[in-house]
């Protein structure tokens, strides 16, 4: 979110912004897929079903990168067609989702211990 807002305010250029963001796309996809599979294996159905759409979206977004682009975030296209605003909205939604998951996991951990 901070990197995208820096790009929006012209504090950094599009190429450095996209290279910073693309560096974290693959670890995000792998991490979220691993967590989703672990929830399936451990039979936590509600959390698995909550994580499944986000993991599917991450994998879809990674697979559907057009050939010739630098990655999910491309410096030549980030200002076209309002992609910057959509990337900002997606980052905010993911932040909310991860905060929700954090507190659900924390509650689950505390309820198991007590």
The domain locations on the chain are 1-113
> pLDDT tens, 70-103?
889 888 888 876 788 889 999 999 999 999 999 9
Secondary structure (DSSP) of 5-47 = HHHHTTSS-HHHHHHHHHTTHHHHHHHHHHHHHHHHHTT-HHH
**Comparing 1 with 30, which gets the higher pLDDT?**
30
> pLDDT tens, 18-45?
899 999 999 999 999 999 999 999 998 9
The pTM of this model reads 0.81
Q: Is the pLDDT of residue 114 over 70?
A: no
């Amino acid at each position: 979110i901070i990197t995208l807002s820096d790009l929006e305010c012209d504090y950094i250029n599009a190429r450095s912004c996209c290279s910073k963001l693309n560096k974290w796309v693959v670890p995000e996809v792998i991490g979220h897929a691993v967590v989703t599979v672990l929830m399936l294996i451990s039979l936590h159905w509600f959390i698995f079903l909550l994580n499944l759409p986000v993991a599917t979206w991450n994998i879809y977004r990674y697979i559907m990168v057009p050939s010739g682009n630098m990655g999910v975030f491309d410096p030549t296209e980030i200002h076209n067609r309002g992609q910057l605003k959509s990337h900002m909205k997606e980052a905010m939604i993911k932040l909310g989702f991860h905060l929700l998951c954090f507190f659900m996991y924390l509650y689950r951990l505390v309820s198991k211990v007590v």
